[in-house]
């Protein structure tokens, strides 16, 4: 297969970026998208040119590092996958593929396709954890938890923090990410102790970092690689309201 790749190139955070076009061929339909970028970079290095910078780590859909906006969709034209799980066979031979970094004020571009997602870390540091002593592992295992609650918590915990929800939201909102973190703990007895502080602190930090407001377009749910639903946003809103009422 052969493709025309229009890739965003930006030397650094302060430089003005632009799209550059590259031709690539002899690509197997089973080649992953990141492997295709590896092949392109090998060609660029052999030609004495600067390779394209992009994030990656596990390449197994676990870490969420491979965050690319491909043909107008976060992680590309497939459902519930990360970019590293996208393959060349999802495109037509001869296609032009546009590749961009996440576009959000809270995720500034570092270089080319790499963005700074430290804002997510700051949100987690504001309350996405349990700091009180709730006992060791054996103690946790003897606390009865309803099956539905445990499953909802596990579903929310599937969030890998890739930022697709932010990149695909027209407002650049991080509500689905925050909701998943809050919901994962809100359904467990260990997380209820700090529930009041958690929702307020994480939402306040999200706003301070420049993320937009949620207008419930459901775009985040549609593009989440782990299938996390906006039902968790409803729970976050309830947790936040309860916290404000207790104040």
Both ends of the chain: CA-CA distance in Å?
A: 61
CATH class of 117-246: mainly alpha
Q: Is-contact 179 185, C-beta < 8 A?
A: no
pLDDT of residue 140: 65
Q: Which residue has the tokens 């570092």?
A: 110
Give pLDDT tens digits for 123-149.
999 999 988 887 776 776 777 889 999
Same fold, 3-111 and 117-246: no
Nearest CA to 82 out of 179, 158, 176, 5 is that of: 158
Dihedral sign, Cα of residue 25, residue 27, residue 33, residue 38: negative
Dihedral sign, Cα of residue 223, residue 228, residue 234, residue 235: negative
**CA–CA dist 219, 236 (Å, integer):** 18
**CA–CA dist 111, 74 (Å, integer):** 18
Q: What is the pTM of this model?
A: 0.92
CATH 3.90.1560.10 applies to domain 3-111: no
Give pLDDT tens digits for 154-183.
999 999 999 999 999 999 999 999 999 999
Q: Is residue 107 predicted with pLDDT exceeding 90?
A: yes
H/E stretch holding 23: strand 18-24
Give pLDDT tens digits for 25-38.
999 999 999 999 99
Give pLDDT tens digits for 39-78.
999 999 999 999 999 999 999 999 999 999 999 999 999 9
Query: Which of these ranges, 75-79, 108-112, 189-193, 243-247, has the smallest mean pLDDT?
Result: 243-247
**CA–CA dist 205, 196 (Å, integer):** 15
Q: How many CA atoms lie within 13 A of 178 on its CB side?
A: 32
Q: Kindly state the greatest CA–CA separation across the chain.
A: 64
Domain ranges (residues) in the chain? 3-111, 117-246
Give pLDDT tens digits for 204-214.
999 999 999 99
Q: Is-contact 224 80, C-beta < 8 A?
A: yes
96-100 and 73-74 strand pairing: unpaired
């Amino acid at each position: 297969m052969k493709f025309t790749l229009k890739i965003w190139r930006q030397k650094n955070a302060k430089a003005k970026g632009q799209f550059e076009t590259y031709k690539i061929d002899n690509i197997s339909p089973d080649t992953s998208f990141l492997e295709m970028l590896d092949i392109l970079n090998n060609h660029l290095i052999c030609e004495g040119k600067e390779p394209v910078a992009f994030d990656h780590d596990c390449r197994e859909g676990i870490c969420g590092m491979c965050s690319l906006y491909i043909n107008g969709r976060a992680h590309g034209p497939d459902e519930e996958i990360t970019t590293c799980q996208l393959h060349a066979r999802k495109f037509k031979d001869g296609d032009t593929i546009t590749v961009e970094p996440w576009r959000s004020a809270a995720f500034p571009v570092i270089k080319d396709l790499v963005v700074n997602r430290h804002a997510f870390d700051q949100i987690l540091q504001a309350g996405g954890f349990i700091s009180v002593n709730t006992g060791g592992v054996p103690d946790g295992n003897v606390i009865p938890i309803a099956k539905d609650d445990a499953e909802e918590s596990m579903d929310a915990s599937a969030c890998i923090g890739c930022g697709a929800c932010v990149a695909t939201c027209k407002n650049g909102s991080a509500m689905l990410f925050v909701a998943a973190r809050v919901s994962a703990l809100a359904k467990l007895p260990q997380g209820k102790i700090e529930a009041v502080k958690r929702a307020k602190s994480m939402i306040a930090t999200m706003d301070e970092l420049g993320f937009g407001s949620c207008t419930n377009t459901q775009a985040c749910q549609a593009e989440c690689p782990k299938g996390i639903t906006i039902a968790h946003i409803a729970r976050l809103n309830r947790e936040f309201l309860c916290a404000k009422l207790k104040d």
